[in-house]
Structure 1
Amino acid sequence: MTRILLILFLFIAQCSVSQTKVGGIVLDEAGEPVSFANVLFKDSSEGTITNDNGRFYMESDNTYSTLLVSFIGYETKEINLTAKVTYDMNIVLSESSEQLDEVVVYFGKTDKKNNPAIDILKKIWAKKRKNGVHMFKQYQYDKYEKVEFDLNTIDSALMKSRVFKGLEFVFNDLDTSRITGKTYLPIFLNETFSKVYGNNETAVVKEDVLGSKNSGFSNNQAIIAFIADLYSDYDIYDNYLKFFDKSFTSPLSRTGVDTYNYVLADSAFIDNKWCYNIIFYPRRKNELTFKGDFWVNDSTFAVKNINLAVTKSANINWVKEIYIEQEFDVVNDSVFLLTRDYMLSDFSFNKKENSRGVYGKRTTVYGDYKFDQPKPNEFYRAKTDPFDPLVLNKEDEFWEANRLESLNDDEKGIYKLLDTLKTVPKFKSYYNLVSILGSGYVEIDKWNLDLGDVYSIFGYNEAEGVRLRAGARTYFGQNDPWRLQAYLAYGFGDDKFKYGISGKWLVDKKSRFIVSGGKRRDIEQLGISLTATTDVLGRSIASSSVFTVGSNDRLTNIDLSTFNLELEPVTNFRIGVGGSYRSLSSALPNAFSLDYIDPTSPTGISSEIDQFDLTTILIYTPGKKTIGNGVERRDVNDNYSTLFLSYTNGVKNFLDSDFDYKKIQFSYTQPWQVGGLGRLLSTVEIGKTYGEVPLGLLNAIPGNQTFFSVYNTFSNLDFYEFVTDTYVSAHLEHNFNGRFFSRIPFMRKWNLREIVGLRGVWGELSDENRALSAPANIPLMAPNNKIYWEYSVGVGNILKILRIDFNFRGNYLENPGARSFGVTGSFGFHF
């Protein structure tokens, strides 16, 4: 700690322009930290709240001589500041000598009744729908956004470590955070200037990106997609604010009264408008909540500015701190407009005070608001390409004219620093390692080729034994209009090579007209999804699992050729038409047979299916956001629904195809944010096959014989245990995000998360299709007597990376080898 402070003071003397900096800890008379105490520069509206451990840090461009520290149940303390920089303050609050009501207030709990802060909050609720840009028919404004990443908590040990040997020059650009007081090293900066247009009558919004610039990673859409998903837009007036796939209760929400304590702390003129200052902090630990304060106008009850900080006890991984500032311009009695939004996230492996991590900072500034200027519908449909070279290569004059907030010296230095780092071999090695782990591919720039993916190298199944796979893809840039991809695999058990090759070509960017095709010869576990595979290069986890439940021997040789056309006439609505030819045969005939009755065969039985299909697919994903304009784009959100409709026509005799049939399938997947109760994921699937087809073309209900938790499968079903030609299935999975575990005292610190699941399926199999596959050596059963169902209870976030599900079978326990109970799990890095 001493070394950190030493470095802080050195750089304060050299770089800082702030006039007053304070930091320290607030304690009670027993020496216990006082969480959520209010710390304020006297005669100002500049303040902060202590964190869970009673610590605070604050700085201002102005000079102040007195600090005020207060908390409910304690005497307010005034501290004279004798220097512009005062760290390691040890502030002890004395219990209030006033007679207070019941101990509710004494222990920091505020009354829900007869509380002036809550009376003001109710008026905010009544007015909130009348505020902002949504009061006008049309609106437009300028938007400038900068996102920065910094390596934080820099000390002498880190400077001298082997990691930075040869890179010592980077420490010339150290500074201290005005929020946390920690040293940090800027390592990435992204700037974007755009114009936003909205029409409230038709509920459409258009954002034209006119300029985009970042330091050293201009072509890395993986980073840009991560940033876009990380810092999604939010509205403080919503009941819940979504960050990192978690719903935090807003302090302005109607449910906030049950979640937060509110205190009316002060009142003052801000921009010639009388405002109230309200402090809020959580009633309970380990919930997804904030601490902070806001100033609200006394007549419009529009928030003038607000500060929110996520409490360290909140059930969120890899994020030590989240701090948000928003400023609004109260135009008149009925209109307020967002002018500045600042968000800082401190990413770290743990939440200890001195742990190192990375700051992620987003600053968004809004300006030049205009209203009620109608534009034709065609205007909103035409959008700019944010990755157009003309957008990415703007001159310095453009940025000087359009930055709504100037860069400080640290931010200006990032561009120069990254240009230098890119020439250092050691930095290139670090960057390449992170890139491989993130994308799964090894970049070979001189060949315009990526090798991988590295996560598919090793596999195992009963047909192939140990399996090794190597692959590659062309890669000229993030917006390639075409891409070729291929792999070669070898099974040491069957002593055979397998391969797959595919190509895609984006013929027209505007309509996203894509031509694709490929060929694949491999071994696959079919029947793990209700839709037949047309993925030339994909491979299911069931085909490669080292450990399985029971015999995983119902594997299929597949020889697949495809040709497809795809069009996106309207954003997020795709139309696909194509043809596929596949040959299917059992990879282990003695254990699993695809035999069917074939009068044209000399034996009357055939073991291989040759089938040509024509397929039309409609996919609608309302609310889906993507980046990039190449043949492959990246998703930047996961809160959109997916509607899928497929019509397949099997054509007999064409290319010696065996069967004539028709199949229609529909699925609807919807994620639901259920406020403070977490996230629900739901899927409904319906399908029917018309005509007689053998086992290989029927719909097997997706079983799961692996030890992995796989959504949209039935964990206690074996592969091909149920086979149908008509089916209806539903899957529900709800993650409570620790809602209930956080209220159990001895479990709070573990930050576990509760997950429950319910899934069911009904289906039937016609007598004709049963008879056709009579030679097969597995029983053909369908859940037609009653709905087959399962349920599961799980615990997630074990050691931050592990999830375990306990799966229970609801019925059909009389089936041969039926599994009534099973345990599955998964690993992953989730916030």
Structure 2
Amino acid sequence: MQIIVAPLKAQYIVQGVVTDSLTREPLPYTSVYLKGTTEGGMTDDKGAFSFKTYRPEARLVISAVGYQEYTRLIHPARGGRIMVTLAPTTYALDEVVVKPKRERYRKKDNPAVEFVRKMIEHRDDYSPDERDFWQRERYEKMTFAINNFDSLKQQKWLYRKFKFLTDYVDTSAVTGKPVLAVSNRELLATDYYRKSPHSEKQRVKARRQAGVDEMLSQQGMEQAISVTMTDVDIYQNNITLFTNKFVSPLSSLGPSFYKYYLMDTLTVAGKPCVDLTFVPFNSESFGFTGHLYVMLDSTYFVRRVMMNFPQKINLNFVDYMKIEQNFDRAEDGTRQLINESITTEFKLVDNSDGIYAKRDVYYRNYIYEPDDDALQAFRRPEKVIEGMDSSTHSDAYWDANRLAEVSKKETSVDKMMAQLRSYPVYYWTEKVLKVLFTGYIPAPKEKAPLFYIGMMNTTISGNALEGVRVRAGGMTTAWLNPHLFGRGYVAYGFRDERVKGLAELEYSFHRKKEYANEFPIHSLKLRYLSDVNQYGQHYLYTSQDNVFLALKRQKDDRIGYQRKAELTYTNEFHSGFSFQLTTRLRKDESSHLIPFVKQDDDKSFVKSISTSELELKLRYAPNEKFFQTQWNRFPVSLDAPVFTLTHTMAAKGVLGGDYTYHYTEAGFQKRFWFSAFGYTDVILKAGKVWNKVPFPLLIIPNANLSYTIQPESYSLMNAMEFMNDEYASWDVTYFLNGFLFNRIPLLKKLKWREVLSCRGIYGSLSDKNNPEFSEGLFAFPAGSTTMERTPYVEVGVGIENILKVLRVDYVWRLTYRNLPNIDKSGLRISLHMTF
């Protein structure tokens, strides 16, 4: 800590910066005051503080959780400069002497490194997961709050209308700052573990939630939280937090990633321990700084963990993060986690107070022999077993069953929200934000709506066939009927003057809480679609009517019409396996932009073709996690592998079908992590059409005509540029997480991150499906061609994390560069918000 004292009239300003004695990093939210007075304050997120005093002499006291208290007599009237750092310590300390060394760090012949290698070697010796079975009681509490909600903030225009908010202001036990809780979640559950066959279950006894995030899907929120602030296991090589993987201090890569220091012995909860301190070699890397308090015996048992992110880490929105865990031992030495806490301060923009978040989990009643409830849980297919009444328990129930005390203000979020919603300005603001977040308007009431109107971002769009296109739609909810759901839209094009639409009626065999597509789906759906068909532009992760795709790099004129009548049976299982069986009547209709002209002497025009199809889709995605919305699911983590297999068959003459054909497609998708070196998203697909068919039934690669970055589509390919009846494709994107830029002094301050991508398709067209060599087929539209023996390949180099939300790629087309009217390179952009 560097203290500078300067006189100002009759006052003196005491300034300083508090740092860690080992890491030399600033310590935020540290208490600084003059003993026996009310003068002082807290250090900011840079570890700095400043306050005024009239006293020419005083005793300065500096204290922080996990550090020895520092006390010294200072003389503000004299001026001067004092260098002080805080020494790490812990609760129930007997003695600690910190002697950080300045000499060059070496791994060879370093006793701390040898000690860590022994810990890594024995890290599974007393693991509860080595037991055949265990169960435990869990109480989990999650709080989100507006940070630093002091009197100055309360007077700002955003809050001063709601003066009652002061009644709900609490004080953070970690930072000491005033906070206003805006969301509170609680969970009571029993965790079960079985070694062989491996299985992990959780039986939810009670759950409740209140706060501003009620507008979002609760199933989706639970999944999102589970991959941001999840259970931490330091005994694994990697620790997953905030959708990223961080190198554990006990990782097998630890000695190459961290600097380790053996500090002096101390007492933790009455037991002698050695303080093993660790810091990453590169403070921008995805790791931790902190302390492991290890028992002084041959077991290498970790009694307590205290660690946080390095201050300079290249991580978005997380300004501060601290983890604390406490362990105990069973009679046979088995390691038992007693409690863990994750405290985080989020900031969307710099120089703001941001959001305070704290997740506390308490465990008790470890049992190592299964009882009847456990055996019954393992017989259930779902991983999380939860009754429909889990969220109906009274306050008295919660007071009697919590494993830890909570403050009254922590459990009053629901009352505060009720008061807020009584003000029209907040009520309508919340409604507008909900529409922006979800894309739907609830009707006829906000809570438990019977219908959703939307999606709103598809209301207006356009293309070369329809001109300006308007669309309106909606869907029913489980509050109207928990088993029967309707969904649809009506669209109109002002140029072609045709009405299009979708009508769906779905019966769910499971009772739903809100949406039809809640996991798991077990349903029978009747569907009719009459709309345009944009050949070679089937966006897989957004709607074709999305207004943000309206700006095109080329004219969007590869469009016809299509009608489909389908009956689909879908069944999803908790194992991650699902299947879908569909019978379909399909009619593809030509347009003046895409005419169906037979390649024969007469060059006759065909208005439409019909097929009667039967389709089977198999999908396996074990441990998949996704964010649930009203109309779709978005993965919150791509760590789970996804395998797909689809076969479609059609028979000529059946229900008016014009063609017999078979089409098979297989796919694979997964994210591969390289620890501190980033991760790679891989999507592989292959397919084949086995019969002679016209081009509407061939394989047409997806071209992305917008300036946005869209997965599984080609940024520089024209629509319908290539026709195939068999193909193999890849979409590989490597996110380096700043691995290179973090080593460049000027760039690392921007916290930009590197992205490399490669997309390609290797396809071919057999003679039987080529109108130049086979009669009875439709002539290809102008500009369409076949692939030679060379795959189509485009590569990109990009920068993400620009202003924390933007990704910009520059893409090059490597093959088929001599074709007319193509783009050989270009800039592409997308919103990419990630930690």
Q: Please confirm whether the aligned pair reaches a TM-score higher than 0.5, indicating the same fold.
A: yes
Distance 2:31 2:252 in 1: 28
Go from structure 1 to structure 2 and tell me whether the alpha carbon gap of 1:594 and 1:543 turns closer, same or farther (over 3 Å shift): farther
- Which shifted more, 820-829 or 615-624? 820-829
Which of 71, 79, 90 aligns to 2:71? It is: 79
Corresponding position of 1:44: none
Which of 5, 12, 17 aligns to 1:25? It is: 17
Corresponding position of 2:321: 322
Equivalent runs, 1:678-757 vs 2, <5 Å: 678-757=678-757
SS in 2 for 1:257: helix
Shift in Å at residue 377 of structure 1? 7.1
Corresponding position of 1:281: 279
Contact 2:695 2:778 in 1 (8 A): no
Corresponding position of 2:441: 442
Corresponding position of 2:201: 206
Corresponding position of 1:492: 494
Which of 91, 102, 123 aligns to 1:106? It is: 102
Shift in Å at residue 479 of structure 1? 9.7
Corresponding position of 1:815: 819
Distance 1:211 1:478 in 2: 25
Shift in Å at residue 811 of structure 1? 1.9
Distance 1:65 1:777 in 2: 82
Contact 1:142 1:366 in 2 (8 A): yes
Contact 2:597 2:603 in 1 (8 A): no
Report the TM-score when normalising by structure 2. 0.83
Go from structure 1 to structure 2 and tell me whether the alpha carbon gap of 1:347 and 1:631 turns closer, same or farther (over 3 Å shift): closer
Distance 1:738 1:479 in 2: 49
Corresponding position of 1:3: none
- Which shifted more, 612-621 or 317-326? 317-326
Go from structure 1 to structure 2 and tell me whether the alpha carbon gap of 1:372 and 1:518 turns closer, same or farther (over 3 Å shift): same
Corresponding position of 1:369: 366
Per-residue CA deviations over 1:633-676 (Å, capped at 9, x if unaligned) read: 78664422211111111122233221111111111111112211
- Which shifted more, 500-509 or 742-751? 500-509
Shift in Å at residue 134 of structure 1? 0.8
Shift in Å at residue 810 of structure 1? 2.1
Equivalent runs, 1:8-407 vs 2, <5 Å: 25-26=17-18, 35=26, 53-55=46-48, 78-79=70-71, 92-93=83-84, 105-106=101-102, 110-215=105-210, 220-221=217-218, 222-299=220-297, 300-331=299-330, 334-352=333-351, 355-373=352-370, 379-382=377-380, 383=382, 388-407=387-406
Report the TM-score when normalising by structure 1. 0.84
Corresponding position of 1:60: none
Contact 1:479 1:631 in 2 (8 A): no
Shift in Å at residue 332 of structure 1? 5.6
Contact 1:56 1:180 in 2 (8 A): no
1:674 aligns with 2:674: yes
Distance 1:393 1:475 in 2: 20
Distance 2:199 2:300 in 1: 28
Distance 1:829 1:148 in 2: 22
Per-residue CA deviations over 1:504-559 (Å, capped at 9, x if unaligned) read: 221245984201122222223232459xx9x9xx7336997333223321122222
Distance 1:175 1:280 in 2: 33
Per-residue CA deviations over 1:426-448 (Å, capped at 9, x if unaligned) read: 33223323322221112224362
Distance 2:420 2:194 in 1: 45
Distance 1:731 1:634 in 2: 18
Aligned length: 767
1:471 aligns with 2:443: no
- Which shifted more, 158-167 or 677-686? 158-167
Contact 1:618 1:645 in 2 (8 A): yes
Go from structure 1 to structure 2 and tell me whether the alpha carbon gap of 1:240 and 1:33 turns closer, same or farther (over 3 Å shift): closer
Contact 2:528 2:565 in 1 (8 A): yes
Root-mean-square deviation (Å) = 3.9
Go from structure 1 to structure 2 and tell me whether the alpha carbon gap of 1:585 and 1:128 turns closer, same or farther (over 3 Å shift): same
Corresponding position of 1:523: 532
Shift in Å at residue 744 of structure 1? 0.6
- Which shifted more, 625-634 or 473-482? 625-634
Letter in 2 for 1:123: K
Distance 1:38 1:116 in 2: 33
Distance 2:64 2:146 in 1: 31
Contact 1:110 1:263 in 2 (8 A): no
Per-residue CA deviations over 1:549-587 (Å, capped at 9, x if unaligned) read: 233211222222221011135532111111122222344
Per-residue CA deviations over 1:618-643 (Å, capped at 9, x if unaligned) read: 11111114689999878664422211
- Which shifted more, 338-347 or 224-233? 224-233
Contact 2:752 2:800 in 1 (8 A): yes
Distance 2:650 2:31 in 1: 74
Contact 1:440 1:454 in 2 (8 A): yes
Shift in Å at residue 392 of structure 1? 1.2
Shift in Å at residue 422 of structure 1? 4.2
Contact 1:36 1:291 in 2 (8 A): no
Distance 1:289 1:614 in 2: 51
Shift in Å at residue 67 of structure 1? 6.0
Go from structure 1 to structure 2 and tell me whether the alpha carbon gap of 1:287 and 1:94 turns closer, same or farther (over 3 Å shift): closer
Per-residue CA deviations over 1:193-231 (Å, capped at 9, x if unaligned) read: 111111111111111111111225778515444333432
Contact 1:110 1:262 in 2 (8 A): no
Contact 2:421 2:427 in 1 (8 A): yes
Distance 1:593 1:452 in 2: 33
Distance 1:366 1:779 in 2: 66
Corresponding position of 1:549: 553
Distance 1:734 1:56 in 2: 41
Distance 1:469 1:214 in 2: 35
Equivalent runs, 1:550-569 vs 2, <5 Å: 550-569=554-573
Corresponding position of 1:428: 427
Corresponding position of 2:515: none
Contact 1:385 1:629 in 2 (8 A): no
Go from structure 1 to structure 2 and tell me whether the alpha carbon gap of 1:120 and 1:579 turns closer, same or farther (over 3 Å shift): same
Contact 2:763 2:787 in 1 (8 A): yes
Letter in 2 for 1:437: L
Contact 2:202 2:385 in 1 (8 A): no
Contact 1:526 1:556 in 2 (8 A): yes
Distance 1:391 1:741 in 2: 48
Corresponding position of 1:803: 807
Per-residue CA deviations over 1:343-384 (Å, capped at 9, x if unaligned) read: 1221212343xx221112111111111114377976414159
Contact 1:147 1:190 in 2 (8 A): yes
SS in 1 for 2:801: strand
Shift in Å at residue 114 of structure 1? 4.0
Distance 2:627 2:833 in 1: 23
Letter in 2 for 1:792: G
Letter in 1 for 2:364: G
Contact 1:593 1:778 in 2 (8 A): no
Contact 1:610 1:658 in 2 (8 A): yes
Go from structure 1 to structure 2 and tell me whether the alpha carbon gap of 1:542 and 1:191 turns closer, same or farther (over 3 Å shift): closer
Shift in Å at residue 51 of structure 1? 9.0
Contact 1:105 1:111 in 2 (8 A): no
Shift in Å at residue 410 of structure 1? 2.6
Contact 1:506 1:631 in 2 (8 A): no
Distance 1:740 1:373 in 2: 50
Distance 2:737 2:583 in 1: 43
Contact 1:611 1:659 in 2 (8 A): yes
